[in-house]
Structure 1
Amino acid sequence: MSRKLLLAVIVVLLITNIATLLVWNNQESIVRNNDEAVASIDGEAITYGEWMRSLRNSYGESQLKTMIDQTIVNQLADQKNIDVEEKIMEREVALLTSMQGVMSEEEFEEKEEDWREDIRYRYQLEQLLTEDISIPEDEIESYYDQYDNGYDFAASMQLSHIVVQNLDTAEKVVKELEEGAAFHLLAQEYSIDEESANDGGYLGFIPTNSQFFPEGYEEVAADMEEYSYSDPFEVDSGVAIIYLHRKLPSIEFTYEEIKPYIENELALHEMEQSLEADPLWEMLDIEWIYQE
């Protein structure tokens, strides 16, 4: 089988799979041939074949190009021994995590795998595009000084809380938690903190160095495991119970650690080059069904 024919088969399979996922959640195929209707409007049918052609024309080329771009970057990065430092990966994952809502441990692990692939692709692509561009040291230093600690990530905690008026009520809440009640539902029922109660007591990600970090919460959360709730403790407004969803550590960079990434960023800007893999296509032998 030729490479061109193989790619054609891949595209057809890809589009077919996408269409299947979009329409049939019960995983039962209800279409048997291209002439069978997938919709009918006042007796006028839209056939499976028409639908498939529309999907291929709309999404087939862009999806295949994305797959080729990713493969190009992977191959060239391997050839040139281009990798991304784990510390950079951790910083980027932490930033993305801090922009999410509440996730279970399983949901986070699934997302993290995809994030890491995207992060590695982006940084490797940036280095491949700019590898022949040199930026003066003083320009890199000036840019670094301008952003100061903007490349660092501040330690953060993702918290929810329930605030009640007295210890008796707090102990009642703890008893219900021990019996399996959901923290966010108990927050809606019991919490006297009007700003967060309707959101299940959710406070979001809060940097530990923030002036908005509730007093006393950091000391309690510091000794907690993720995905656990605390014992009741006194606060200014009553008695609190906190739930620690996630705890993200501080990540700090020296100038030498971040310098290569600043240089790539400045080089990309100097080239007025968008972060696309198109210029790399000529470096490898590529055949695909959409080429002219």
Structure 2
Amino acid sequence: MITRQERALRNAVILLAVAALVLGGLLFWSLRAMAILKGGTVEGDSPDIATAGGQPVTERQWMDELRKKHGDEVLLGMLNHIVVGMEAKALGISVTDDEVDQQLQLNMSGYESEEQYYAQMQSELGLSREEVREETVYRLTLQRVATAGIMISEADIDNYLAQNAERFIPKKQLQLSIIEAENYEEAEQIMDRLEQGEDFAALARELSTDEESGKHGGKIGMLEEDDPFWPEELLNTAAGLNPGDIAGPLATEDGYAVIRLEQVITPAAPATVDIRKQVREELALEKAAPLQQVEKELREKYHTAIYIDNSLQD
């Protein structure tokens, strides 16, 4: 299940992950290759891993095909991990578990639950929980390396906060379920059936014109009270409900809807020190070279050599 907000967040995460590694379904190959780089061995010469009509597919054939199609990106990603790690060690840069946890919580914003976030990462990128965490550590480390030596003054932070104060005001998060209909009359009929005691989730599965939310009983996850992907009237109505209340018909982009408020969460305001730290890091990143350029420069600094195709160095 994914809402319109989640689709946008998912796309951002995908682009970020592609810039970092382009792993996806290639993790098995890359982990084996990393083992070889570290002096590890792979048991067996080339066992059969599949058959079709009695014709075998060997592990070597599979690995060769992966290398031809995606090996460039995986190899560069592996080398980037190595050189960024070297530079971080040289600069005394490290990332704490708490910082990783905070970044993951930020990444999960807009998802109904932690489980849904990790399920999405698994289905879209082929990344397990552990691998998502590893990539988060890498990304934070790369950002720290890229911004090393860049100074941001307290006045710079003060100016940014003065111009963007509303950004750090906690916003209500509304957990909603929805039944979408093609027109006002159909939405009215849904309201009538709900008022007669019929189950919301069952009606969503039966009647909702939005197939994605309908198959999940109408659940669309958490929305911020000013989410730009949803009509203002719908969000304002939802914000005025108590958990369990139903409202509708409400105009949507594709017709009309009936909503039920499941839960309201008002996040605690972040500590001032945390806000200033976040702003400092963001302003430093704005002044830093693009991260892909930093990776390229580090590969050059640490004399990376690629023997299969020198064009990868470009």
TM-score (norm 1): 0.56
Residue 171 of structure 2, aligned match among 154, 159, 163: 154
Q: CA, structure 1 residues 86+7, in 2 after alignment: closer, same or farther (shift >3 Å)? A: closer
Residue 215 of structure 1, aligned match among 233, 237, 242: 237
Q: CA, structure 1 residues 61+87, in 2 after alignment: closer, same or farther (shift >3 Å)? A: closer
- 8 Å contact from structure 2 (residues 169, 269) kept in 1: yes
How far apart are 1:60 and its partner, in Å? 1.0
Q: CA, structure 1 residues 5+86, in 2 after alignment: closer, same or farther (shift >3 Å)? A: closer
SS of match in other structure, 1:150: helix
Mapped partners of 2:136, 2:36: distance in 1: 29
- 8 Å contact from structure 2 (residues 84, 142) kept in 1: yes
Residue 274 of structure 1, aligned match among 291, 300, 305: 291
Write 1 or 2 for the structure with the bigger share of helix: 2
Residue 29 of structure 1, aligned match among 51, 75, 78: 51
How far apart are 1:267 and its partner, in Å? 2.8
Q: CA, structure 1 residues 247+93, in 2 after alignment: closer, same or farther (shift >3 Å)? A: farther
Q: CA, structure 1 residues 57+241, in 2 after alignment: closer, same or farther (shift >3 Å)? A: closer
Residue 106 of structure 2, aligned match among 87, 91, 96: 91
How far apart are 1:63 and its partner, in Å? 0.6
Mapped partners of 1:291, 1:8: distance in 2: 21
- 8 Å contact from structure 2 (residues 176, 219) kept in 1: yes
Structure-1 residue corresponding to 2:9: none
TM-score (norm 2): 0.53
Structure-2 residue corresponding to 1:7: 37
* CA deviation vs aligned residue, 1:234-264 (integer Å, no higher than 9, x gap): 64659x66274x8665264344213333333
Residue 66 of structure 1, aligned match among 57, 72, 77: 77
Mapped partners of 2:270, 2:281: distance in 1: 16
Structure-2 residue corresponding to 1:186: 206
Q: How many residues in Structure 1 have an aligned counterpart in Structure 2?
A: 237
Q: CA, structure 1 residues 54+91, in 2 after alignment: closer, same or farther (shift >3 Å)? A: closer
Q: How does 1:131-146 map to 2 (within 5 A)?
A: 131-146=148-163
* Largest Rg, 1 or 2: 1
- 8 Å contact from structure 2 (residues 50, 57) kept in 1: no
Mapped partners of 1:167, 1:62: distance in 2: 52
Give the letter aligned to residue 169 of structure 1: R
* CA deviation vs aligned residue, 1:179-238 (integer Å, no higher than 9, x gap): xx4x532343xxxxx8x69963566653236753253665433xxxxxxxx4xx564659
- 8 Å contact from structure 1 (residues 133, 267) kept in 2: yes
SS of match in other structure, 2:56: coil
